[in-house]
Amino acid sequence: MLGLNLQFFLFCVFCFSIFVLFWYYLYFFSRVSFFKVKKTDTETLFPASVIVCARNEDHNLPEFLPLILLQDYPEFEVIVVDDCSWDNTPLLLKEFVKKFPRLKTITIREDEKHPHGKKFALMVGIKGARYEHLVFTDADCKPPGNQWLKKMMRNFSDEKEIVLGYSKYESNGSLLNKLIRFDTFQIALQYLSFAMAGKPYMGVGRNLAYKKDLFFKHKGFASHYHIESGDDDLFVQEAATGKNTAVEFSDGSFTISRVKKTWKKWVEQKRRHLSTSRNYKWSDKMRLGAYPSAQFVFWISFASLMISYPLNFFSEYDLYIVLFLLALRLIVQNIVFKQAMNKLKEQDLFVISFPCELFFLLFYPALLFSNFLFKRKLWKRN
């Protein structure tokens, strides 16, 4: 009797996890998977200021900066903030200024008494911008063509003040590269689809746009200036609403970044991002946490049901039901993910979706635990 009760409980948990997952697949993620760009007869292309912060980027600027400066756009400027570089970045920028009249550079000098992070450099760039509409990317990012700026800017209107774009990573075929790109895809699938559902919670500074007036209305980064990261997601947390936020992920609107080459650098980056997410709204934390929790419960309950079957806790007919629900869940997920990957030009990631899901179900809890331990160690040393 106890075995039957336990089996029934596990089955109910299994079904509930599938219901939660279907809610994410069909209500949220399908918005990206099956989105169709609406063609408009006229597009208002406001003058734009593209802002790039650069610190010791002499290895990236020669390749990436010209691609930004040569955008097919009627009126724009590119502001590069040289943030205390000690390599050849200042010399390179001087040469670029001679060739490209659209380029404006701002130099920040090192001040040992008043150290600063990226947020200060961004504020300097924003204050120096000539135009109201600001587009942000990084010095190690490049647009795929000359239509990137036009596609990001076409989303602005009197109502739309923030545009969330997608920034992908270059592919090099390594295992680490595939994991990073799959993680980036999953994060984008969430923040793009949530924004389309009227629940924007973050963007990425590698491809983000908003109005200068909105920035100053929310006093810039004042509420989270003390936090090292979060110049993109925490500002979107504060300023974005369901009505003032648009998304852009059509072909040609992405930026492409160079991927982290070592596990150590990637883990450090993920730990910073997780520490920043502690400052999200509770509603966003719950919404973001429910999805991986449902995945975890799904696999645990499924494994438990499979273990209980040889113990004769449930019949062969019940087994078929469980296997059918498993197959149904995987089919729905694969359809939604396949279509979303096509939209975001990440088709090669589809074949590794299943092992990546299992990997990240273990990876993220381990990161959270390591962040907790690291925080405790710092506290003890103080």
| Tokens, residue 150 | 């036009």
Give the neighbor-by-neighbor strand order of the sheet with 162-165.
103-108, 76-83, 48-54, 133-138, 208-211, 162-165, 245-248
Q: 57 and 205 in one domain?
A: yes
Q: 222 and 74 in one domain?
A: yes
Q: 178 and 321 in one domain?
A: no
Q: 235 and 288 in one domain?
A: no
**pLDDT computed for residue 268 by the predictor:** 87
Domain boundary among 239, 259, 278: 278
**pLDDT computed for residue 378 by the predictor:** 32
Give the neighbor-by-neighbor strand order of the sheet with 167-169.
141-142, 255-257, 167-169
Looking at the domain assignment, is residue 358 inside a domain?
Answer: no
Report yes or no: 268 and 371 within 8 Å, Cβ to Cβ. Answer: no
**pLDDT computed for residue 382 by the predictor:** 29
Q: 246 and 336 in one domain?
A: no
Q: 228 and 97 in one domain?
A: yes
Residues with Cβ < 8 Å from 13, sequence gap 6 or more? 297, 301
Report yes or no: 367 and 270 within 8 Å, Cβ to Cβ. Answer: yes
Domain boundary among 247, 278, 309: 278
Q: 154 and 47 in one domain?
A: yes
Looking at the domain assignment, is residue 380 inside a domain?
Answer: no
Report yes or no: 150 and 73 within 8 Å, Cβ to Cβ. Answer: yes
Looking at the domain assignment, is residue 360 inside a domain?
Answer: no
For strands 162-165 and 208-211, give the pairing.
antiparallel
**pLDDT computed for residue 4 by the predictor:** 57
Looking at the domain assignment, is residue 107 inside a domain?
Answer: yes
**pLDDT computed for residue 380 by the predictor:** 30
Q: 197 and 82 in one domain?
A: yes
Distances in Å between the Cα of 170 and the Cα atoms of 1, 66, 112, 182 are 56, 18, 36, 12
Looking at the domain assignment, is residue 224 inside a domain?
Answer: yes
Q: 201 and 215 in one domain?
A: yes
345-372 in b/e form (b: 16+ CB < 10 A) is ebeebeeebeebbeebbeeeeebeeebe
Looking at the domain assignment, is residue 138 inside a domain?
Answer: yes
**pLDDT computed for residue 96 by the predictor:** 95
Query: Which residue is listed with tokens 């997608």?
Result: 166
Q: Which of 234, 231, 276, 259 is nearest to 367 (CA)?
A: 276
The boundaries of the domain holding residue 273 are: 41-278
Neighbour tally for 55: CB within 10 Å: 16
CATH number for the domain including 112? 3.90.550.10
Going along 143-194, which residue ranges are E strands?
162-165, 167-169
Q: 156 and 246 in one domain?
A: yes
| Tokens, residue 135 | 């587009």
**Domain total of the chain:** 2
**pLDDT computed for residue 310 by the predictor:** 64
Domain boundary among 231, 250, 278: 278
Looking at the domain assignment, is residue 47 inside a domain?
Answer: yes
Q: Could you tell me the mean pLDDT of each successive run of 10 residues in the chain, 382 residues long?
A: 68 95 98 83 84 94 95 97 92 94 92 79 96 96 95 95 96 92 97 97 96 96 87 94 96 91 88 86 94 96 84 67 94 97 96 95 88 48 30
Distances in Å between the Cα of 61 and the Cα atoms of 85, 119, 328 are 13, 20, 48
Cα(322)–Cα(319) distance, integer angstroms: 5
**pLDDT computed for residue 314 by the predictor:** 59
Residues with Cβ < 8 Å from 280, sequence gap 6 or more? 201, 202, 233, 237, 288
Q: 25 and 74 in one domain?
A: no
Q: 20 and 82 in one domain?
A: no
DSSP 8-state symbol, 24: I
| Tokens, residue 191 | 């923040």
Residues with Cβ < 8 Å from 82, sequence gap 6 or more? 54, 55, 89, 90, 93, 105, 106, 107, 108
What 3-state DSSP class applies to 235?
A: helix
